[in-house]
Amino acid sequence: MLEKILNWLTLRPLRMRILRRKFLKCLESEIAEEFLEMLLRFMSLAFLLDRDFRRNIEDFNGRYLFRSRDNSITVAVVFKDNRMKVYEKNLEDTNVTVTFRNGKALMGYLLSPKPDILGSLLRQDVTFNGNLNYVYKFAYMAKRLQLMATGEI
């Protein structure tokens, strides 16, 4: 009950609808420069609003660093105490560091229903340093979010 009131007071459902639209627009765009930002904002809010989705981070501790190859984007994501926190800074002691060529490449890796796997490998679009199981878990959550956004789940 308290959660519902809090959600209503902070306009989370409305923000979720707006973010969902932006996220879907981003998925359809050719450049998808803002993909990571959109994904993380949408994911953050989804964890707050959707109890089922939140189960994914219950008792989960994970430290991720997402970095564009040209170093123009550096985003740290920390899952702790059933919360997701995002920082625009470097992070030490990560479980995994994900380096990507650009937003489109990262999106293609995480979400594309027909990923250009060969092309992605050839171009080294996305590379990882660290525990791959953390990547798999994050990719699962991102995919789930996409399916929620498109109404497929």
Residues that bind other proteins in the complex, under the rule CB under 8 A: 55-56, 59-60, 110, 113-115, 117-118, 121-122, 124, 128-134, 136-137, 139-140, 143-144, 147, 153
Instruction: Strands of 22-82 (E only): list them.
Output: 62-68, 74-80
In the complex with other proteins, the residue whose CB is nearer, 10 or 150, is 150
Tell me the closest approach of the beta carbon of residue 128 to other proteins, in angstroms: 7
- Both tokens of 130, joined, read 């660290």
Whether 149 and 24 have beta carbons less than 8 Å apart is answered as: yes
Instruction: Strands of 14-118 (E only): list them.
Output: 62-68, 74-80, 83-87, 96-100
Report the C-alpha gap between 31 and 91 in whole angstroms. 27
Closest CA to 105 of 137, 127, 86, 77: 127
In the complex with other proteins, the residue whose CB is nearer, 12 or 64, is 64
Tell me the closest approach of the beta carbon of residue 96 to other proteins, in angstroms: 10
Tell me the closest approach of the beta carbon of residue 68 to other proteins, in angstroms: 16
In the complex with other proteins, the residue whose CB is nearer, 21 or 55, is 55
β pairing state of 83-87 and 96-100: unpaired
Tell me the closest approach of the beta carbon of residue 93 to other proteins, in angstroms: 13
In the complex with other proteins, the residue whose CB is nearer, 20 or 137, is 137
